[in-house]
Structure 1
Amino acid sequence: MVKQDGYESDHALYARQVRSTFGWLCFLVFFSTLNETVFNVSLPDIAKQFGIAPSVANWVNTSFILSFGVGSLIFSRIADIYSVKKLLIIGLLIYSGGSLMGMIAQSYFPAVAAARMIQGAGASAVPGLIMVIITRYVDKQNRGKAFGLVGSVVALSEGIGPAIGGIVADYIHWSFLFLLPVMTLFTIPFWVKVLPNETKQEGKTDFIGAILLSVGIVTMTLYMTQHQWMYLLIGLLFSILFLMHIRRAEQPFLSPSLLRNRRFIFGVLTGALMLGIVAGFISMVPYMMRDVHALTTGMIGGRILFPGTISVILFGVIGGVLVDKRGVTVVWYLGFMAIAASFVTITLFLDRTPWFMPVVLIFIFGGLSFVKTVISTVVSASLDAEQAGAGMGLLNLVCFLAEGIGIAVVGSLLTEHVVAFPWLLSLQSAKASLYSNVLLILVIFTVISGLAFAWNFKRK
């Protein structure tokens, strides 16, 4: 065997080591994706501590999701050029560095938001690179099991996140949530041992395109929450520069051919709209339960959100089976109707009791699982073989961004006084009217998304 930097470079040996210690991989995935939802229930506490509006407090989640989405695409694009081992370790160090920054600077909100953005940038190394590791070092007959196990761990992590966040925030303080990602540092010795020291491959990374796209996304999101025209103009400018750049770049960050694929773009935008709507609603639940029913952070995370978020695991499996047996149209309508009907139910009975909410949330998360399954199926079918990798990467990016934007927009709506007008006479309080009206807006956009998908599918 050939030795390289003190390690055996034989591919079979590394593959055997990765398979034999798959538990470490699941451990890393769990603590990397946990941060997507663990801060959700703490947003009202953060808003109260700093005396800020929900539109500002929600940037604790929005900043993480935006950098996570862009970073995921960047890391997946450069994994074929740079060493996966080095990229993964760098990502984990950035992730933990952002976590320590947030813990130390917990009394200054801009630093907290910046720390969450750094966390997202570091954590974004995990999903794409884990897929690369499985593809390279797990044999084909076991690869499906590996992907399925990772998917289950992701669903479990996202589902249990609100419960963990609620317990920590209730009994200690929300800032201690920043310490959870430091657990990923324990996996670094494992990756140093089992992953080969790959050399840099030929290729170029379009960092200019990545920067232009990132600035455009962040500033456009800032405009949606702050309503300042300067952010809109900057966002449009960088978006135009990005489109001009990828037409000239030798190896662009995003292929222009993807943007000319109408079916692909329509499927991505339709799914992203639905994901953004649900993400915005979920970010509103802690505020709603706190203001209308005076529930504690721990109760919101453990009793309200937990049953719905954990049900994603079951509904994800059911959605996949139904797509194979009944087709995407049936599954889409089931998901769409579950989400829309649940929103209407909450709108009408919001101030009656909080305990119908866990049941309704199960239908919302179940509907979301169905929608995700359909969108992945439809979008992948619209891509040629050579476009598949970049296309699915772009789908993940847009969906992450839609979630971040949805959270930011709902936070902005909660600060608008006109939205608090009591349209429904059945509600007993002004606070309930505010959340009910935001839900009515979400219902409208849910219907638009559902009809747009139906129209596009009919055209096919």
Structure 2
Amino acid sequence: MTKETDNTRTELTKTQKNRLVLMICIILTFTVMNGTMFNVAIPDIAEDFNLLPSQVTWVMTGYILVFAIGALMYGKLADIYPIKRLLTFGIILFATGAAIGLFSQNYPMLLAARLIQAMGGATIPALAFIIPARFMPKERGRVYGTVSATVAFASGLGPITGGLVGGAFDWRYLFILSILSLFSIPFLRRWIPDESVRKGTVDIPGAAMIAAAIAGLLFAITALSLIGLFVFITAIIIFVFHVRNHPAPFIDPSMLKNKYYTTAVMTSFLGTSVMFGMIFIVPIMARAVYGLDTMEIGLLLFPGALGAALIGQRGGYFVEKKGSYPVLQVAFILAIAGSLLISTFIGLPPYLLALCILVQYTAFPLIQSSTANLLTELVPEEKTGVGIGMFNLMNFMSGAISSAIFGAFLDLERVSLQLNPFALSEDIYLYSNLFLAISIIALAAIVFFTLKFRHRISPQNKKFS
């Protein structure tokens, strides 16, 4: 039996905790695969609808944009409404979008399906990081490691599945797997502890302003639009004035005044842009440079995802035992090394490139688990939902912005400028330069984090004080 106190803190047995972690991993698998399955199908979608890379990127960018806003919104809602109720609603909406996508006959219909999916699917990663902090605080480091390992493995399983289904049938059939997420509802209804509704309000106008700002920024990047830039700047200015007069704004300014919290979120933002950049570029590069089909692209990514899953699981234990900083430091070293290796060895046989991807892929779960654990230490317990929500918002926004930027560069198709002196031929300079830029972003992230947090690190055990 569970014991519930006035502040909704629920004490769970070991069996209940194991079931809850299993449930988190199952529903996360559906969501993550939904994203990475379509990564490898992007060349096929572009071919079917005759789209440029900057246009087809909205299959991912639009999805991630709505996901980003939803992640923070659901994080805020989780501080008010029961997690069980939010997840049930989200999964039903997620499957509804998938049903529409299954029958999509044109690009606007496909985008609509993806946006509806995102509206519902945003509940899953948002709440997957809140559940351990709320119901398993003593084990949250290990659970974050398991969650991040699941994300990494599912991100690799997605391309394989996408390759099999898309290669044998049609990319539209990928939506069937997302519809299967409905079968998780009876388990989450049974295994997630009951909670009562708490006091609180949701700043809908503020959420709309942030959504407009992010959409304007992405439109400015992808279409080089001055109108998009104007929308972005205007929405930000209006939101700043809105925050000053709203008692519970969509983004809590008091949290942003905490320089350690802001630094951790921004470090995660940069780290996620590194990983999303790699995952977005590789399928397009593999098709252009190696002529790989959808299935082969999935096989190229899978070793990295499998290695990341194994490393991520152990990373959770290291976070719990050693603290977040050393794990985060190792993660960025792997990200820097991996992107440099990819930049250098593009053009060599695919199996060698897969080993380079493996190095960078393993950084992803370590960045996620260490920063998530750190953030739960930096925010008050009653603001865990919105604190993790901001973490998710910035991560998904990072993915959307990085995909949009890299998509715009990929439109160039051919570049004569060689930034990496070890690049093999002029045909791959564009991709080599992009991965060199990714390594610089990763280096900047860990330097930024180290400088800001150097006074909070104990020299004896590297744990945060």
What TM-score bracket applies, with the shorter chain setting the length? 0.7 to 0.9
Contact 1:64–1:120 (CA under 8 A) maintained in structure 2: yes
User: What displacement does 1:419 show?
Assistant: 4.2
Query: 1:343-382 residue pairs with structure 2 within 5 A?
Result: 343-382=339-378
After TM superposition, give the deviation of residue 150 of structure 1 in Å. 5.0
Distance 1:199 1:327 in 2: 33
Counterpart position of 1:47: 46
Contact 1:83–1:197 (Cα < 8 Å) also in 2 = yes
The alignment partner of 1:117 has SS state of: helix
Change (3 A) 1:207 1:415: same
The aligned counterpart of 1:402 is 398
Q: Which of 422-431 and 394-403 deviates more?
A: 422-431
For residues 413-432 of structure 1, what are the structure 2 equivalents within 5 Å? 413-416=409-412, 419=415, 421=417, 430-432=426-428
Does residue 97 (structure 1) correspond to residue 96 (structure 2)? The answer is: yes
- Distance across 2 between alignment mates of 1:274 and 1:118: 27
Identical positions, percent: 31
Kindly state the Cα deviation for residue 342 of structure 1 after the two structures are TM-superposed. 2.3
Compared CA separation, residues 55 and 204, structure 1 to 2 (3 A) = same
Matches within 5 A, 1:37-436: 37-82=36-81, 84-105=83-104, 107-129=105-127, 150=147, 152-189=149-186, 201-302=198-299, 304-323=300-319, 328-385=324-381, 387-416=383-412, 419=415, 421=417, 430-436=426-432
What letter is aligned with 2:209?
L
Q: Is the 8 A contact 2:145 2:365 kept in 1?
A: no
Q: Which amino acid aligns with 1:335?
A: A
Secondary structure at the counterpart of residue 250 of structure 2: coil
1:32 counterpart residue number = 31
Distance 1:224 1:25 in 2: 35
Corresponding residue of 1:5: none
- 1:177-216: CA deviation from partner (whole Å, max 9, x where unpaired): 1221111223345556777997755432211111111111
- State the alpha-carbon separation in 2 of the partners of residues 426 and 145 from structure 1: 40
Q: Which residue identity does 2:353 align to in structure 1?
A: M
Quote the RMSD (CA, aligned, Å). 3.4
Moved more, 326-335 or 41-50: 326-335
In 2 relative to 1, CA 48–208 (structure 1 residues): closer, same or farther, beyond 3 Å? same
Q: CA deviation at 1:130?
A: 5.2
Contact 2:165 2:173 in 1 (8 A): yes
CA distance in 1 between partners of 2:84 and 2:319 (Å): 36
The separation in 2 between residues aligned to 1:290 and 1:146, in whole angstroms, is 37
Contact kept, 8 Å, 2:420 with 2:436, in 1: the verdict is no
- Post-superposition offset of 1:159: 2.8
**Aligned-pair CA distance for 1:308:** 0.4
Question: Which whole-Å CA distance do the structure 2 matches of 1:287 and 1:327 have between them?
Answer: 37
How many angstroms does 1:253 deviate by? 1.6
| Cα separation, 1, equivalents of 2:156 and 2:380 | 34
CA distance in 2, matches of 1:87, 1:48: 37
> SS of the residue aligned with 2:362?
helix
Query: 2: CA distance between counterparts of 1:239 and 1:188?
Result: 38
Contact preservation (8 Å) 1:350, 1:432? yes
**How far off its partner does 1:139 sit?**
7.6
Q: SS of 1:37's equivalent?
A: helix
Q: Report if the CA contact (8 A) 2:61-2:404 is conserved.
A: yes
Structure 1 residue 374 displacement after superposition = 3.9
TM-score, structure 2 as length reference:
0.84
**Deviation sequence 1:313-360 (CA, Å, 0-9, x none):** 222233344445666554444322322222222222211222211111
Q: Give the CA deviation at 1:291.
A: 1.0
Q: Which residue of 2 aligns with 1:7?
A: none
Cα displacement string for residues 32-76 of structure 1 (whole angstroms, at most 9, x for unaligned residues): 332131211111111222221111112111222222222122123
Q: Which deviates further from its counterpart, 304-313 or 32-41?
A: 32-41
